Amino acid sequence: MEYRYKALYENQILEGVVEAEDKWEAVSKLKSQGMTIIQLEELSVRDSKVNYKFLETFTRQLYQLIKSGLTTDRAMAFLSKSEKKYSQQLTNVLNDLRSGSSFSNALRNSGIFPKSYIEMIKSGEESGNLEEILELLIDALSERNELRRSIINAIIYPSFLLSISLFSFMMISMYVVPKFKTVLQTVDIELPFITKLAFFISDVFSYIIIALLFLVLSVLFTLRFLIRKRKETIENLVLRIPFFGSMVLKVELIRFSQSIYSLLRSNLPLNVALDISVETVSLLSIKKRLQDVKREVLRGAALSQAIRKHKLFPAVFVEIVSVGEQSGELAGAFYRIYTQFNEELKDNIRRFISLLEPSIIVLMGLIVGFLVFSMMLAVFSISSGV
């Protein structure tokens, strides 16, 4: 579970999210870091789960309506009627606006907008640049959703190939091979070992399926238990996996860099941008390191120096941040990081798919080919024996 906290740390008030099994563990974790807890509350599901596809559509429509000259409340009146799934929440935003609430507070009360989104809207309200902030949000949400689609597509197509291959293997094993066996058993001839092995696999195929299903469920249950108890350890192991681990790390750093870039462009101070951006990170092992970075920055350390202390972060990430600090263009530095890492990740995904597709095809071709070859060998043996 996740808990949102407000705590006093070295005469400064910090806000953030801590993961723990229960409230007492959350309190213990915060106190061990030297924090005096002011407020602690469990995050509800709606705070943790954000529909970014809806957010992008909503923001695009809101931007177009405001750009055309509509006031915020009139734009929300239109959007609350046109939106189906979140109509009630948007109606609540409209009612809060008409009651005198600011737009950012109205969005916060709805419970469907992430903190980074709300803070950027608040900055736009205060600076009078709401249109510019909405453009930033559209770009950020579009990039995030595109990244998500790339990852999903990388999983779907190989999964489809694997499913078709397994289905073909199952049909041959359960229907084709037994018919050959019935015919070949009527012939008084010694069958090749490969053919006997194919018959054996066909006979025990249903048991193999049950055993594999049991094995998969056992592995999933074990992993779920280990993740709950040893989440950070499991995550660290995942990050050490060659190729795959670097892809996971890049996904997290892209989210973090994209968030902090957007917030800095919205003229939010670095400590606030860090506090909000850390919450966009999913992996606890990375989030803890970034929380350490945030505390070092609050103590007066340079951001690049604080990041450099953690060997997990790539050298190029640290160097770009360092150059950005020296030039006074930290927002631009994080923009370069997330665009560069985004392109690298897309390239890695393309390479992953290009390697995985032929591997699956070759593997299943060998398995199906083995069954077909074993049947053909039996036929040749019968022909030779006649």
CA distance 120 to 108: 12
pLDDT of the residue at 44: 42
Q: How many residues does the chain have?
A: 386
Q: Among 163, 173, 183, which residue's Cα sits nearest to residue 206?
A: 173
Q: Which is it for the CA torsion 285, 286, 288, 293, positive or negative?
A: positive
Domain with CATH 1.20.81.30 in the chain: 52-141, 154-386
For the domain spanning 52-141, the CATH number is 1.20.81.30
Q: What are phi and psi of 338, to 5 degrees?
A: -75, -30
Read off the pTM: 0.70
Q: CB count, 10 Å around CB of 269?
A: 10
The CATH superfamily holding the domain 154-386 is Type II secretion system (T2SS), domain F (1.20.81.30)
Residue 110 and residue 96: Cα distance in Å, rounded?
Answer: 9
| Residue-level pLDDT, tens digit, the chain, 386 residues | 567 778 888 777 776 667 676 677 888 888 888 888 888 876 543 444 678 899 999 999 999 999 998 999 999 999 999 888 888 889 988 998 998 888 988 888 787 888 888 888 988 888 888 898 999 899 888 988 888 888 888 788 788 888 887 787 778 777 877 887 787 777 777 778 888 888 887 777 767 777 888 888 888 787 777 666 667 777 778 888 888 888 889 989 998 998 899 889 888 889 888 988 888 888 888 988 998 999 999 888 999 999 999 988 999 999 999 999 999 899 999 999 999 998 998 888 888 888 887 888 888 888 878 878 887 887 777 776 54
- Which pLDDT score is estimated for 226? 65
Structure tokens at 197: 């092995």
Secondary structure in 3-state letters for 183-228: HHCCCCCCCCHHHHHHHHHHHCHHHHHHHHHHHHHHHHHHHHHHHH
In 3D space, the residue among 381, 380, 370 whose CA is nearest the CA of residue 169 turns out to be 370
For 369, the 3-state DSSP assignment is: helix
Handedness of CA 298, 303, 306, 310 (dihedral sign): positive
